Amino acid sequence: MSGGDSAVRTACVVGSGGREHALAAVLARTAEVVVSPGNPGIGGTSPEGHTVTSVATPPEDVEADLYVIGPEAPLVDGLADRLRAAGKLVFGPGADGARLEGSKAFMKELLAEAGVPTAHFGVFTEPGPATAFLRSLRGPWVVKTDGLAAGKGVLVTDVLDEAVADVEAKLSGGAFGEAGRRVVVEEGLTGPECSLLVLCDGERLAPLAPAQDFKRRDDADGGPNTGGMGAYSPVPFVDDALVASLVEEAVAPLVAALRARGIDYRGVLYAGLMLTPDGPKVLEFNVRFGDPETQVVLPRYDGDLCSLLAEVAAGELRSVPRFAPEAAVCVVCASEGYPEKPRTGDPVAGLEEAGAVEGVTVFHAGTAADPARPGGVVTAGGRVLGVTAVGPSLAEARRRAYRAVGAVSWPGMHHRTDIARAAAGDPSTEKAEAAR
Ligand code: AMP
Ligand code: GLY
């Protein structure tokens, strides 16, 4: 398979969030796209004339030349294996590779074995030893649920007692059910964060443009950790040389460790990195595209994404991904109560006006159709919209994104006002950002 000459006529994207909306939009530059189950924002015809359709049909029953699995849960559950067993071309690891994200304990053990720099850690099922380990660390303290927790199972705190209480809540099964009955306790690292998505065809690696995600719910990195409240790309402090060294030191050894276990990983490895004073360290690996990182990385892709992902899926990654110099900024608009207890069912106003702002695409993340309500779209999740703009600079992309955010509303809508602010060059926030 070669770039620009895609054999992919129809692509099936699995998932229903903002990441899948962005994947569908970029894949639809060159192919018809079916999204299972999709959402009310995903549909219509791309500017290139390809149809995009949300379908209730399960992915196993959709006919397509390429399957791209968005979220971690179906990957951990073995959807890629089932599709491959049926002879399909699939982008996304099997259940063996997806365990990297399905168990943070497994991931940390693999990182340690592969010699990838990461935070000092311990894995515990009993509160006593976990608490003793916490007390042996200098703060800040970090407690992570072992299993899948939709980006919400991580506590980072400067208060030791809070970490101790969190260990007890998680291990008692009260906080995250079975997923929480094992915890990873870590030393807290400091430094700016960056997300690096790296394609892997089982052996060869190709990094995509770096992005920065904003994990905390509120401005100036206040409030609880979330799945991500916004993102931007490119990242001024992560240049090509740094990307190359991150691939070499953080990703390649991990892939070698996977291969040594007989795992043929075909998909994307998402490295969550912190650039600490002691050098870059891996916070986590995910086995899928980041959300909302995808919304700012893929629109900048300069090429035929169907061909690129098909090469990965076929184990024949040859293309070198290139990105347009334009910048992209995504601001997540969330429901009241996110992440603990998001309120749903509120009518969303202003979608058309927001989408009309130059360079803007409003990716739907947690919406549902409700023809009985004004506008026909209601909130249906914690993260509702990813309002995304491209522009000639980060500053301009940011201005466009926030102009569009100003057009959408529903009761209790919440968004951060400082996404990409420091990176876009607003000196009043340099200090806050330096602490990131
Ligand atoms: P994770 O899901 O493991 O990436 O954790 C979510 C977020 O928690 C990260 O993006 C960081 O902001 C924060 N975090 C995770 N691990 C650490 C750590 N060891 N030190 C400081 N912050 C962390
Ligand atoms: N934005 C964080 C994630 O996708 O896990």
The three-state secondary structure class of 289 is coil
Per residue of the chain (436 residues), what is the pLDDT tens digit?
444 456 999 999 999 999 999 999 999 999 999 999 999 999 999 999 999 999 999 999 999 999 999 999 999 999 999 999 999 999 999 999 999 998 888 999 999 999 999 999 999 999 999 999 999 999 899 999 887 776 668 899 999 999 999 998 888 876 666 656 889 999 999 999 999 999 999 999 999 999 999 999 999 999 998 999 999 999 999 999 999 999 999 999 999 999 999 999 999 999 999 999 999 999 999 999 999 999 999 999 999 999 999 999 999 999 999 999 999 999 999 999 999 999 999 999 999 999 999 999 999 999 999 989 888 999 999 999 999 999 999 999 999 999 999 999 999 999 999 999 999 996 544 444 444 4
Q: Which sign does the torsion angle of CA 218, 223, 226, 228 carry?
A: positive
Pocket of ligand 1 (CB under 6 A): 119, 142, 144, 154, 156, 186, 188-189, 193, 215, 225, 272, 283-284
Judgement on whether residues 208 and 278 belong to the same structural domain of the protein: yes
The CATH number covering residue 26 comes to: 3.40.50.20
**Of 143, 164, 187, which residue constitutes the final position of a domain?**
187
**Residues 427, 337: contact at Cβ < 8 Å?**
no
How far is the centre of ligand 2, averaged over its atoms, from the C-alpha of 373 (Å)? 31
Whether residue 104 is contained in a domain is answered as no
**Of 187, 209, 229, which residue constitutes the final position of a domain?**
187
Strand partners, 121: 186
Structure pTM? 0.93
Is the minimum distance from the CB of 213 to ligand 2 under 6 angstroms? yes
Distance (Å) of CA 206 to CA 247, 250, 252, 309, 322: 8, 13, 10, 11, 10
Judgement on whether residues 201 and 297 belong to the same structural domain of the protein: yes
The CATH number covering residue 140 comes to: 3.30.1490.20
Judgement on whether residues 372 and 389 belong to the same structural domain of the protein: yes
Domain count, the chain: 4
Is the minimum distance from the CB of 396 to ligand 2 under 6 angstroms? no
* Domain hosting residue 79, numbered range: 10-94
How far is the centre of ligand 1, averaged over its atoms, from the C-alpha of 370 (Å)? 37
The CATH number covering residue 418 comes to: 3.90.600.10
Judgement on whether residues 250 and 204 belong to the same structural domain of the protein: yes
Judgement on whether residues 387 and 424 belong to the same structural domain of the protein: yes
**Of 94, 109, 136, which residue constitutes the final position of a domain?**
94
CA distance 214 to 332: 10
Judgement on whether residues 83 and 46 belong to the same structural domain of the protein: yes
